[in-house]
């Protein structure tokens, strides 16, 4: 027996400029399947998302790094190199081939990182909290396995504009890759 709530799940929804045929949306999941060392979306990611695409449905992609220094999770994809844009293009094309829509989720991991992930740069955060990197239960995924995060430093005011620019550039690259939204 269908209830009015379950019936509503399968009704169209206007989401800004996007028309969804139903209200079932795939939430972002951390898959850690990009090709390393350059965090490029590959065939495994394209297959994964295409298998989950539905006609008129929306997929929100996994957290995607905006720059090398924003990385904090081994295997997460990026949108800061041309090869990454091309990799995402294959992923998005596969979703579109099934009639689905896809949004990019952009991220900067902040203090939840290790220098082995950020090109040797010290991770940055809004403030400094030594208890974060000193906590043996706090671990991050790196090329050397699960280890404690590196000490981080507080952002300086001029750096904020640079990180905002990284977000802007990544959003432009997401458009180039064919994403329907960011």
Residue 66 included in any domain: yes
Residue 142 included in any domain: yes
Can you tell me which residue has the tokens 């300086």?
A: 156
Please list the residues that pair with 105 across neighbouring strands: 63
Residue 15 included in any domain: no
Residue 127 included in any domain: yes
Q: In 3D, which of 90, 77, 83, 72 has the Cα closest to residue 150?
A: 72
Domain count, the chain: 1
Residue 108 included in any domain: yes
Residue 16 included in any domain: no
Residue 1 included in any domain: no
Q: pLDDT of the chain along its 182 residues, tens only?
A: 455 666 889 999 999 999 999 999 999 998 899 999 999 999 999 999 999 999 999 999 999 999 999 999 999 999 999 999 999 999 999 999 999 999 999 999 999 999 999 999 999 999 999 999 999 999 999 999 999 999 999 999 999 999 999 999 999 999 999 999 99
Residue 30 included in any domain: yes
Segments forming the whole domain that contains residue 51: 25-177
110 with 66: CB under 8 angstroms? no
């Amino acid at each position: 027996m269908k209830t009015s709530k379950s019936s509503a799940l399968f009704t169209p929804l206007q989401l800004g400029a996007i028309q969804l045929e139903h209200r079932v949306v795939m939430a972002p999941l951390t898959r850690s399947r990009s090709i390393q060392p350059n965090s490029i979306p590959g065939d495994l990611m394209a297959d994964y998302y295409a298998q989950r695409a539905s006609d008129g449905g929306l997929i929100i992609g996994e957290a995607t790094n905006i720059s090398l220094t924003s990385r904090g999770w081994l295997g997460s994809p990026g949108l800061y190199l041309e090869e990454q844009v091309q990799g995402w293009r294959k992923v998005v094309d596969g979703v579109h081939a099934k009639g689905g829509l896809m949004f990019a989720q952009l991220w900067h991991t902040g203090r939840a990182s290790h220098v082995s992930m950020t090109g040797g740069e010290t991770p940055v955060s809004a403030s400094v909290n030594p208890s974060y990197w000193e906590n043996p239960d706090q671990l991050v995924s790196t090329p050397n396995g699960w280890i404690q995060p590196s000490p981080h430093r507080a952002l300086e005011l001029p750096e904020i504009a640079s990180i905002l620019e990284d977000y802007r550039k990544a959003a432009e690259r997401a458009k180039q890759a064919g994403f329907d939204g960011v």
